[in-house]
Homo-oligomer: A and B are copies of this chain.
């Protein structure tokens, strides 16, 4: 493998597209597939479209996968037309989606007999940082496999710590990240809902408490959207945390660790989903707690 691996890219969604473009702009040859032809058209200036996932993956040194769910990962790898059939020994599958450790371990179990290695590197940082190559990527895998995908990590991330040798450790790290994010967003909503109910000026609450002991990244960021009630300006949809708090619960259950706050926050995201708010910005959790508003 050269310092410029050939890259197959599966999944050009809100995060996947800017990440693939950042990779291509760093000098790597990227061939992509997405179930949406429009997504392929949108990046066609820098990235070659393939007719299928198998066509994209055939002969690639690295297959980068940025899908939405564990079920989609399974389908891409092992479903009808899955790339598992065309991967060559010593190629590396780089999974950047947040799918939980169990999905990664299942992929490893089925790919290892083919000589294919897996690197698990879920991301944090949002669409804007994806476009500038400033993501946080939580990387796990054996050293040779991590070395093989290093040019991609360098292109996409400003920080890509190796957090474990076992694929799945990256997901575990991301699970902890999402526990904090999901609880902090819900706490911001709860705090501002209580401020309202007590007759305080929630914009002043957000401004004054945004810098002291009560501060969090999410209170600053999502809190501002809560104050503005800008729930249709969707930066990150509620259903992402419906999924991710589910992964937190599943991971915690697997190791028999109680996580009462994450569990409580999950109920709020589920309530929002049931109330038809799935596609609203996740800051809508504030509105969920103000049923009178």
Instruction: Report A's interface with B, CB cutoff 8 A.
Output: 101, 124-126, 136, 138, 159, 161, 163-164, 169, 172-173, 175-181, 183-184, 186-188, 190-195, 197-201, 204-205, 208-209, 212-219, 221, 248, 251-252, 255-265, 267-268, 289
Contacts and interface: CB of A to CB of B under 8 A. Distances in A.
A212 B217 contact: yes
Copies of chain A in the complex: 2
A281 to B, nearest CB: 15
B260 A177 contact: no
B187 A209 contact: no
Contacts of A192: 176
A237 to B, nearest CB: 15
A166 to B, nearest CB: 9
A115 to B, nearest CB: 27
A214 B198 CA distance: 28
Contacts of A267: 260
Of residues A125, A186, A193, A216, which shows the largest number of chain B Cβ atoms within 10 Å of its Cβ? A216
A212 to B, nearest CB: 5
A3 B87 CA distance: 80
Contacts of A184: 184, 187, 214, 216
B180 A183 contact: no
A233 B216 CA distance: 24
A187 B190 contact: no
Given A176-B200, A212-B124, A259-B194, A183 B183 contact: yes
Given A163-B208, A190-B262, 13 more contacts: A136-B208, A161-B204, A173-B209, A176-B209, A180-B214, A183-B190, A190-B260, A193-B257, A194-B255, A213-B218, A215-B217, A216-B218, A263-B264
